[in-house]
Structure formats: structure tokens, C-alpha cells
Amino acid sequence: QKISDVAVLLASDFPESVTTGAVLELFLQQQLRKMAGIFACHLLLLQAWMLAFTSCNAIIFDYKEMFVESRIDHFNPRMINPNTFQQRLLYNDTYFKEDHGPILVYTGNEGAIDQFWNNTGFVFELAESLGGYVLFIEHRYYGKSLPFGDEWQQDYNYQYLTVEQAIADYAIILTGLKERLGNPQRKVIAFGGSYGGMLTAFMRFKYPNIIDGGLAASAPIFPMGKYDFYKAVTEDCASYNAQCPVQVRSGYTEIMRLAENGSEGFAQISKMFSLCKPLDAGNFQHFLLWARNAFTIMAMADYPYPASFLGKLPAYPINVACDTILKADDAMAGLAEATVTFYDETMGKAACHDPAKEYIDCADATGCGLMSQWDIQICLQVRLPSGTNNVTDMFPPIEPWTDTMYQDYCARKYGPLLSYQTDFYKINFWGDRINAASNIIFSNGDLDPWRYGGVRNIIPGAPFVYPITIPGGAHHLDLRGSDPRDPLAVTAARALEKKIIQSWLL
């Protein structure tokens, strides 16, 4: 059905005088009897378009930094040496209303917390209107929050790098902050994107007594099919121009054909991609991963304006890459130009490129950056298999790792005593049976390659779990500050998210 027709339907069903809270209630009671699944979520989003506000300036605050003492092991009464570490917090109380203001907490994910502070402007916009106290908590073992200091990788000291330990940190810090701010019953709303969004959801599952609601943006809490991620990347390219995946496939077909010719073919590929060292049979697979990684990052950061969150990229980098590929004389030349341009922009322009340095192979096929901490988390708990098959996606066939491959890699790199927690999500964090959950918004952009692991449909029996699909939205775009270049849909999504959060604070 056309969007305009749906808007007319909504306008007739819900007069202008109806409040958003009433719209949500009526929607859940009446519209779900007519329309189901993600289409229903789109209707809810379209209704928000009538109520959306537009802010032309993102609010960016300076932060104050403090450190708190956190236990290294929350679940074993036996003392270890050392028993605690200094955990970094960033906060701002510019708009805080002590009598009623909520705590707005970002559940830090894999990286130094200041990078998330600088890319989560929506929280600051909410702080202004809600009188909120803004708190960003750094995830243990990242940034400046290092148990065991520089020795965190020695003697299995990384065994405490788990989701359970991380969210226990957050729960204890928040409990103490409520006391310090003079109200143990103060409302807390959690926010997180990607893995941080998963932590927000897990916080609400595990500690509903600590947080009153959460916005889990681009949070792949559901298992993904082993080819889903790169299927989504391919769909993103096709949504801009249907010929783009066709040309990318053709480019890779030529690369694979040349590789079959041995050293002569490898030399041609090396020259085309401006590689510092010639390819051979031993490093060809890593080259393919390096080239694929360019599309991984561009798809996640496919924002409507230039951004530097995942590397310095132009507005809609997927569109830019597709234009480059489609304008080239041949498919392989276009693919090479798009790939080299990506690395020039994100790593710094260079006379040549070294895939061994620019892409670190690790247990996460979508990349670990330069962080061995995330590699360890994949080995321990957060397994995210991602392969390509050249059928549902445009990349050469690269099978995802098997359990045996994970075990061999993790034991070889981090020691034989490291073991993966089988059924981690299913047992500890509910798996796909989240119908008992409440007060969680799950937002997913339809350009985000992680969307297939997100909560995208209404959960039967969970009327207060709100899945929102954002047309034109990349990886947790709704958490970023408002910008006049935002798609209307993300402006509408933020307005709807704000209304839902306000209802939790009543």
C-alpha cells in the first residue's frame, strides 16, 4: 500500500487532538487486529510523522570525567588480587532537575567511552527536555577502564571480560548514583547502540529494578543466519542502484579468474588495488576479506552526512562507492577504485595499501579493528558468524567459521583454557523468547546490515516492547544528534521514542 494511502488511513483513524500516548494505546488495541508484523510498526512510525519535530542543531556537551572503584569479579566472594579496578565515567548535569530528572545512561560498548559520547547526541537532546542527568559508563577492559592495568591479557586475566560482569558494573554504579543524587527511586533510562544496544536490552532483562526502560538501537540480540549480514549489505547497494551488486559481482568474478592464473594474475590484481606487497596464494584470502571489509564499514556508516564514527566517510558512502563502480571502464577497476578510496579516506591517503595492516583478521568476520578485547569477547560469548556465498550476496564465497574453527583459533591465540559459553544467549538472556520483556524500544534502520538480528516485529504477549523500523536509517542513526540532513523517518522515530520514554517517566 502506498505511504500516502496509509497516512490518510491514520489521519482518519486518529484525529489531530489525540495524544501520542493515546495513539499508542489505540494502535495496540485496534490496529494490530487489522495489520501485523513489521508493517504495523511502519504504521506506528507514519503516525509519528504527524507529531515529529525538527531540530537543526545537534546538542553536544562537554563532559566531566570521574572514576569509581568496581569489583573485578562480582559473582565470586573469594577475593582476588587485585580485587578492584578504576572504571571511567563521563557525565553532564547541565539540565539536571534534582527534584524529578531521570538518569539517562549509555551502556558503554566495545571502545573508549568518549567516542560514544561524541556520537550519541539524541541523549543530550532528551536531557534538555526531560531534565536528565547524562551518564556514559565505559565498558570494562576498554579505554581507561582496565582491570589488571597493562597486564589484562596475561595469565587469563581477561576471564572477567563478560557481558554479565559488564552489566553488573552498570547496575552497581547506577544504584550508587541514585543514592548520591538523593533519591534511590529515581527513574533510569538506558541507551545503547549495536553491542551497547544489546547491553541495554540485557540490563532491562536482568535488572528491571535498576532501569525503568531502554532504547536498544541496532541491537542484534536474535541469532542471525550465517549469510544474513552480507545479504543485507548487498541489499543496501541494490536499494540505491540495482546494477551496483551486478557490477561488484562481476568485479569479483574477474578477480577470482585472475587468481587462477597464479603469479601473473596476482600481479595484475596487486597493481589494480595499489597493494604494497604482491599477492600470492598464501595471502589472497586475507585480501578478499580486506576488500569486503570496505563494504562492511560503508554499509554500517551509511549516514546522510559525512561522519567519522567508523572512519572518515562521505555522506551515503554506499551510494558514493556504487557511483564509482558504475562509472568505471570495467567492473574490477571500479571495485578497486571504490575499495582504495575507502581505505584512503579512513586510514589516510597512501601511495600503496597493506591489507595485513589495514584489516586484522579475527573471530568476528565483520572486523575487530585493532581491539583484541572484542576478539576475546567473540571467543568467550558474543559469537556472530558472517559468511558470503555469492548467491544471496555479491561477494566471493567465504564460509563462516565452524565451531571447530572458532575453538582452534581462540585456543591458539588466547590459550587452551579459554572456552566458549554454549547457548549463552538462550540461557542467560532469553534467546528469542522475550515476550516477558517490557519498556524496551528496539530500533533498526533498513540500511543497517545488522538488522536481521534485531527485533523488527511485534512480539506476541509483549505489548510494551516497541520495534521501530526506520526507512533510510543506517547503524543506530537515531541515537545520533538531530541534523537537517536526516531522513524524515529518523526524525519521526526520535519523536516517537521520546514520547514512549516520557510515558515511562510518569
* Chain segment 130-153, per-residue pLDDT in tens: 999 999 999 999 999 999 999 998
Nearest CA-CA partner of 82 in 16, 148, 9, 8: 148
**Predicted pLDDT at 309:** 87
- Candidate list 218, 475, 482, 483, residue with the active-site label: 475
DSSP 183: -
Answer whether 198's CB lies under 8 Å from 265's CB: no
**Predicted pLDDT at 211:** 97
Is residue 372 among the annotated active site residues? Answer: no
Residues contacting residue 100 through CB under 8 Å, at least 6 positions apart: 131
**Predicted pLDDT at 60:** 58
**Predicted pLDDT at 432:** 84
Nearest CA-CA partner of 168 in 428, 399, 420, 445: 428
Round to whole Å and give the CA distance between 125 and 115: 18
Is residue 194 among the annotated active site residues? Answer: yes
**Predicted pLDDT at 59:** 52
Among the residues of 186-283, which ranges form H helices?
Answer: 195-206, 228-240, 243-259, 263-272
Query: What are the 10-residue block averages of pLDDT along the chain, 506 residues in total?
Result: 33 34 38 39 44 43 94 91 95 96 97 94 96 98 96 91 97 98 97 97 97 97 93 97 98 97 96 96 96 96 92 94 96 97 92 94 85 90 87 95 90 84 80 92 96 94 94 96 95 96 96
- Candidate list 393, 448, 478, 486, residue with the active-site label: 448
Other residues' Cβ atoms within 10 Å of the Cβ of residue 309: 19
Answer whether 114's CB lies under 8 Å from 88's CB: no
Other residues' Cβ atoms within 10 Å of the Cβ of residue 466: 23
Q: What is the pLDDT of residues 149-190, one digit of tens each?
A: 999 988 899 999 999 999 999 999 999 999 999 999 999 999
What pTM value is reported for the model? 0.88
Is residue 448 among the annotated active site residues? Answer: yes
